[in-house]
Structure 1
Amino acid sequence: MRRSAADAERKPVRIRPPAPSTPPPREPALGRSFSCEPAPKPIMRRRTRSLPSAAERRRDSRRLQVRFVDSLGLDLEEVKVFAAGEDPLVPQHVLSRLLMSAEMAAGKHLEISLPYLKPAFPERPVEQADFLARLCRQRVCLEQVLCSEAGIVGTAQVLNLAFEKDVSARYSFTDWKSSAESKASWVGTVRGAGAADGPASDVFRFRLPVPPFILQPGAVLEFAVRFRIAGAEFWDNNDGRNYRLTCHSYKLAVPKECEDSMVHFI
């Protein structure tokens, strides 16, 4: 087969081979794993914001702060500035604690003073021989009184002259410059309070408060019982002397094994 002149003039074209491809970077082989779980990612460690850095700690250490606290470690709420010549007022419990500590240091036996209310009349007038006679004469009579730190509880008997009765105790801490009343509540009925065929009597109970200032030696509480019925009013005021209770104190020896705890308790 004969080639034409045009084919003879054509020159061969050189073909450039493809450039070699760069293989992707390989991850460091940490060991083969046939698990289906994804490869763990590196943990980023970060300092928490709540903790100061070393530089901050050095800077804060240079600024010293002073806090004033009480015996329980609580911050003081008020600051009292005393004028020249003005003596500070020390609380009573602080003085008691210092006194007890001084007595213990001196080797003395520790004692505490406890207040109590002492009646200036029989605590159970109901046991007196003339109780029934007084009840029939006054229509109302104090029966008994019980004193404690929680309060004063008393009972009174009144003649059952009608169904509706109003019984109360009027008391005063200020020698009757001021007074208040405590309403009594019905407790029960006592049969045959006067003569054998006389009317029965009802028992009423009343309570009197014991504020802290009354638990000071020499403080006095006075009271009287009032009975209202059918528009009439009757009183039992201890034959005009009123019923008086005076605060006293007595010493209580503290056992040796309890002295330390008593000082911290006060």
Structure 2
Amino acid sequence: MVQTRLRSKSERSSPTRRGAKNKKNVRFLDCVDLEQAQYQFGASSSGECDVVCDTRQAATSEVYNPPPELQLEKQFWLPTEDELRWLTSSLCVHLESVRWFGRAITGVVRVANIQFEKKVEIRYTYDDWATSHITNGSYSGSPCTNQDQFSFCIFLPYLRLDMRLFFCIRYECAGSVFWDSNGGANYKFICRSANLNRNPFFLTDCSIFF
């Protein structure tokens, strides 16, 4: 019969057997995961970021994290799947979904599969188009035979109360250019105070993963 006993605090735990291997799980971060990790852990006491930053984003660790009292608020609606398929067939390009955390915004664009060679650009501004920036979409799948998906990621250099982000989508294929600018109004985010009670339909990121 095997008996068990309680181990006193003064006893040392038994050493790990030599040669024993620990199982490791590896997962690559997408841009929202990276932003969330940096937002959560912040900077160390030495001023260096505890999480390795994406080298494509030349942002210093001191200004990377947004003030905790600020958050982005979506100012537009997204279509249902049936509406999205119809809009994409009619207009050739349409925004499918968005997620955001801190200063990172990711999204999926649906385009008509006109030809194999395609180019999707997201053009955005946070100073009312005094300046603008471009990020390219990357192919991420085909939900049906005649439509493709492209994913994108936008990093904002800072958040400021009442700051407005606008973006639109440019799709180039088979020598033609198509635009999705949300009916001419552009897609819009506003930076708001996080402690204000606002419309939950605009505050929620809808937990859309891709």
Q: TM-score, normalised by structure 1?
A: 0.46
Structure 1 position 183 matched with structure 2 position 133: no
Q: What whole-Å deviation, never above 9, does each CA across 1:189-221 have from its counterpart, x for those lacking one?
A: 1115xxxxxxx1110001111212xx2210000
Q: How many Å separate the matches in 2 of 1:113 and 1:209?
A: 17
1:154 to 107, 110, 116: 107
Q: How many Å separate the matches in 1 of 2:180 and 2:91?
A: 7
1:132 CA displacement: 2.2
2:157 to 193, 203, 211: 211
2:69 to 83, 94, 114: 114
Match of 1:241 in 2: 185
Q: How many Å separate the matches in 2 of 1:208 and 1:179?
A: 12
CA contact (8 A) 1:149 1:210 kept: no
Letter of the 1:169 counterpart: I
CA contact (8 A) 2:103 2:157 kept: no
Match of 1:259 in 2: none
Pairs within 5 Å for 1:52-131: 114-122=69-77, 125-127=78-80, 130-131=83-84
2:174 to 215, 218, 230: 230
Match of 2:123 in 1: 170
Instruction: Figure out how many residues of one structure are paired with residues of the other and give that number.
Output: 131
Match of 1:143 in 2: 96
1:119 CA displacement: 0.9
CA contact (8 A) 1:219 1:247 kept: yes
Partner SS for 1:227: strand
Q: How many Å separate the matches in 2 of 1:207 and 1:230?
A: 25
Q: How many Å separate the matches in 1 of 2:68 and 2:103?
A: 18
Letter of the 1:208 counterpart: I
Unaligned runs of 5+ in 1: 1-71, 73-111, 193-199, 253-266
Q: How many Å separate the matches in 1 of 2:81 and 2:150?
A: 19
1:150 CA displacement: 4.6
Identity within the alignment, %:
31
1:182 CA displacement: 0.2
Q: How many Å separate the matches in 2 of 1:211 and 1:231?
A: 34
Pairs within 5 Å for 1:11-22: none
CA contact (8 A) 1:113 1:249 kept: no
- Aligned Cα root-mean-square deviation (Å): 2.0
Highest Rg: 1 or 2? 1
Match of 1:250 in 2: 194
Question: Relative to total residues, which structure has the larger helix share, 1 or 2?
Answer: 1
CA contact (8 A) 1:113 1:251 kept: no
CA contact (8 A) 1:166 1:228 kept: yes
Q: What whole-Å deviation, never above 9, does each CA across 1:142-161 have from its counterpart, x for those lacking one?
A: 00111111510011010110
CA contact (8 A) 1:155 1:204 kept: yes
1:172 CA displacement: 0.6
Q: How many Å separate the matches in 2 of 1:127 and 1:191?
A: 15
Which structure has the higher relative contact order (CA within 8 Å, separation 6+)?
A: 2
1:135 CA displacement: 1.1
Q: How many Å separate the matches in 1 of 2:68 and 2:108?
A: 30
Question: Relative to total residues, which structure has the larger strand share, 1 or 2?
Answer: 2
